[in-house]
Structure 1
């Protein structure tokens, strides 16, 4: 009997947001979980649970992966899904069982993806999607799946749960890659198309709002990180992977390595940013990565998000903002200052110019020059 799959989900219990940890009965796993700090067993819920937070969830995930347990955290990442309360109607869920041959095939795909240098996040996401897909169709194995089964999963699980465009697209990508590697592309239905993406424009911060956020970030390390994200338009993953040797203070350039799509690029660093980086490096003396945790190694993205949210609260800004908003704002401000869109594409590391063109829709530089006929009315 193989190891059970563990289901992570959020719920509200006795007025508190909790992380539920469910799995089919397994005494070894039961004993292993009891050793995790802060976790409790509830007889009424018939589940392990603990207070929900991203750091705690990540820590428990890593704790379980050390023993090679599979974790389904799809309900935590599906943007359109909402928390459910104990005792209320739940959405469509799948069981915990999966065929052993399927596990083996997924492991082979993971090894192939690692050799092809897929990002850790992509590998983890695809693994999770495939586990859900095959659990949905248990006891069928990968060789017994038909074209109708794939369509059924799309309709009766993804669409029935009203999961987001991103979630649906990732599931389709994972299934297609799996069967492409199996040499069974004929299984994929012709009408299994990617959903139409909603054309939402990114939130943009004004220069005054950027200044306010940085002024309310008093810690030198935190200020340097947020400043770098904005001034160089970096993704958070790129900033956290940046090493001290990647920054050329003399030439005022940084080498961003293995960015999205496994691409490298050179990014100019402003004189002001070089000064702040030098001040920070002299003070903190990082050994390898520019931003390191208390015990060495890369700084945590979770901690970076917490820094930004704290500074946003202190600034009194009510927009829905993420770390990526700093990158969006950098690109928009460059465009408004007259920078050619082709240079912005290169600076951001976009493959497709269409991705960069979104900033022409959020820039106010040209819109401000339009004369509104209402201005000629005398009211």
Structure 2
């Protein structure tokens, strides 16, 4: 009977701990720690990754504690590509550019296709069968424990090469995909959102977080906002070339307009609504950094990301009885089914819904 602390990687957000079922006192102590979380599928507890928390865990677990290295997927070894493989990579890139894929998407496709080429670059790629490709993906799942997301990105890259670059029939490379998980988006409470939005003292940082939440933006949409996209008289933001190369309109908060006017007078951006210190677009890494800082300062949900603000916007709109069709248009979803996922993220507790048991007992007491 021995607890185990998993030594986290430097960039890891959490420290994971295994606690034997019999050690109830220890489990109670860790459960009472700030930011503690139970992972039912892994049967592990975790806390936020800080040196202080690691020392606290060591003290709580005592000398009987075992410390092991954390385990994540085994790195896939990189291999220098031969000329045929480089030519294939170029063909994939050219086909994606001609189809007007975004730069970030092209980079992901190339990275994933490189993994495939490392395995098959000595072969004639046209002769590789669907069964061989599925065997290759199966091998990566078993040996390197690749995630569902990684698996899908890899399949997308392979299919893009055969279908777009080689013009092979789509049905021929209909590769088996992982079963789609039905996860519910991570959402912040209204109280947490308010604390995060009020946390930055810098007016530009505050305006950035306010804009993302109040309009339900993706981080890429925020950095691509131009000054001309703010239509304060008509009360909307214009989002150009969002995901899927679509234009759309979304709500513009009245309070955000007031904040943006103060921000504009102080920073005087020239073209992009939010510009970096040396001009040009504000960077995604800077936005993520300021969000993480706000989360840490307010002791909010440590699992949240900048995109969680978009999920929270959608959920809070549903709670405020905003029409789902309007919400779909504001978020830029193709299908209402995508938007309806947020009906599952609304708060469900005994403060918002009365249990039938409470109703029955209340009725019984009245009659008595």
Residues 299, 89 of structure 1: CA spacing in aligned structure 2 closer, same or farther, 3 A cutoff?
closer
1:373 equivalent to 2:357? Answer yes
Are residue 249 (structure 1) and residue 236 (structure 2) matched? no
| Alignment coverage as a number of residue pairs | 299
Residue-by-residue CA offset, 1:227-248 (whole Å, 9 max, x unaligned): 0000000001000000111112
Q: Secondary structure at the match of 1:254?
A: strand
Measured at CA, do residues 169 and 159 of structure 1 come closer, stay the same or move farther in structure 2, by a change above 3 Å?
Answer: farther
TM-score for the superposition, normalised by structure 1: 0.72
Name the Cα RMSD after superposition. Answer: 2.8
State the distance in 2 between where 1:301 and 1:92 align: 26
Q: Note the 1:247-326 alignment, pairs <5 A.
A: 247-326=230-309
Q: How does 1:322-341 map to 2 (within 5 A)?
A: 322-341=305-324
Equivalences for residues 43-54 of structure 1 within 5 A: none
Residue 346 of structure 2 is matched in structure 1 by 363
Offset of residue 267 of structure 1: 1.5
Instruction: Return the index of the structure with the highest Cα Rg.
Output: 2
Given candidates 227, 233, 243, the residue that maps to 2:210 is 227
Residues 159 and 173, structure 2, Cα contact 8 Å, conserved in 1: no
Q: In 1, distance between residues paired with 2:171 and 2:192? A: 51
**Conserved in 2, the CA contact under 8 Å of 1:102 and 1:141?**
no
2:105 pairs with 1:122: yes
| Correspondences of 1:98-137 after superposition (within 5 Å) | 98-137=81-120
Q: Deviations over 1:223-277 (max 9, x none)?
A: 0000000000000100000011111222222210000000000112021111111
Inter-partner Cα distance in structure 2 for 1:261 and 1:159: 33
Q: Provide closer, same or farther for how the CA distance between residues 127 and 233 of structure 1 changes in structure 2, counting only shifts above 3 A.
A: same
TM-score by length of 2: 0.74
Shift of the 189–159 alpha-carbon distance from structure 1 to 2, 3 Å rule, reads farther
SS in 1 for 2:131: helix
Post-superposition CA distance 1:91-133 (Å, at most 9, x none): 3634513231221122122122122221111111110111110
5+ residue gaps in structure 1? 1-12, 19-83
Kept after mapping to 1: 8 A contact 2:216/2:313? yes
Q: Distance in 2 between matches of 1:89 and 1:370?
A: 43
Q: Deviations over 1:191-245 (max 9, x none)?
A: x222112212112112211111122111100000000000000001000000111
Counterpart secondary structure, 1:183: coil
Determine the C-alpha separation between the residues in 1 that align with 2:124 and 2:72. Answer: 30
Q: Distance in 2 between matches of 1:346 and 1:186?
A: 31
Residue 183 of structure 1 corresponds to 167
Match of 1:350 in 2: 333
- Secondary structure of the 2:76 match is coil
C-alpha contact (below 8 Å) 2:75/2:144 kept by paired residues: yes
